[in-house]
């Protein structure tokens, strides 16, 4: 079936993960450690981030998990905060930090090209929904997006298929009529489990070619290549 809609991951796909999330992850670990610098460093390491170079490892906790998963791992590793308190504080941090998002390339131009081709667009992220919407408003992109889902939107979490299935249903489409685009295996697995018509990896985030190429239908450098790639797959 032709592709009629595209569901994007957010961080690493639309936003520069390391520039956007490096400082946020440091602040998150500091919150979780409650002032204990050594513990904060251990929590960052557990999350998959190197404080020295501000780079997060592919497939790591911070690269792919949602707020409650991160908070749970950090509480188990020694954070003195309760799971509920830490989850609430992290979500508040993530939402407040959304206005510092660093886009990858010209998102408005990419989204405009895709919409001109007749495609509907959506975002499915492991971040909370409020953060996604604030980012879209801050970057002036909200008018392009027909669907938004975060880990707390009630559609399940990645790598489960719920967000992709909800996207298709919201637009009145079959899952085989959507493409899913993301930078790590959680995104690819979500698309596969949902029965998406195309599942596309991008190498602009925390995933790498060795991880994504074997499991995705295609790997692009970043989403600027997407309009040309999708052109042969569109319906009349």
DSSP calls for 140-196 = T-GGGEEEEE-TTSSS--TTSSHHHHHHHHHTT--GGGEEEEESSHHHHHHHHHHT-
User: Considering the domain 5-16+103-233 in this protein, what is its CATH number?
Assistant: 3.40.50.1000
Banded pLDDT at 160 (limits 50, 70, 90) = very high
Q: What was the pLDDT predicted at 236?
A: 58
**Residue 126 — very low, low, confident or very high, per pLDDT cuts 50/70/90?**
very high
What span, in angstroms and rounded, lies between the C-alpha atoms of 130 and 150? 8
Residue 53 is predicted with a pLDDT of 87
pTM: 0.91
Instruction: Judge contact between 74 and 93, C-beta under 8 A.
Output: no
Enumerate the domain spans of the chain. 5-16+103-233, 18-100
């Amino acid at each position: 079936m032709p592709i009629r809609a595209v569901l994007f991951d957010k961080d690493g796909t639309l936003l520069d993960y390391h520039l956007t999330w490096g400082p946020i992850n440091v602040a998150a670990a500091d919150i979780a450690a409650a002032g204990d610098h050594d513990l904060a460093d251990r929590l960052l390491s557990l999350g998959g981030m190197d404080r020295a170079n501000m780079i997060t490892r592919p497939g790591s906790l911070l690269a792919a998990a949602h707020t409650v998963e991160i908070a749970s791992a950090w509480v188990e590793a020694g954070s003195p905060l309760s799971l509920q308190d830490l989850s609430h504080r992290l979500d508040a941090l993530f939402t407040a930090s959304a206005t510092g998002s660093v886009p990858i390339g010209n998102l408005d131009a990419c989204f405009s090209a895709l919409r001109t081709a007749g495609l509907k667009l959506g975002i499915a992220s492991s971040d909370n929904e409020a953060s996604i919407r604030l980012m879209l408003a801050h970057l002036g992109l909200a008018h392009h997006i027909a669907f938004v889902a975060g880990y707390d939107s009630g559609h399940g979490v990645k790598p489960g298929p719920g967000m992709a299935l909800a996207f298709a249903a919201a637009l009145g489409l079959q899952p085989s009529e959507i493409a899913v685009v993301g930078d790590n295996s959680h995104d690819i697995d979500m698309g596969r489990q949902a029965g998406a018509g195309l599942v596309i990896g991008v190498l602009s985030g925390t995933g790498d070619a060795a991880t994504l190429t074997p499991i995705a239908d295609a790997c692009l450098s970043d989403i600027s290549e997407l309009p040309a790639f999708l052109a042969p797959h569109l319906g009349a």
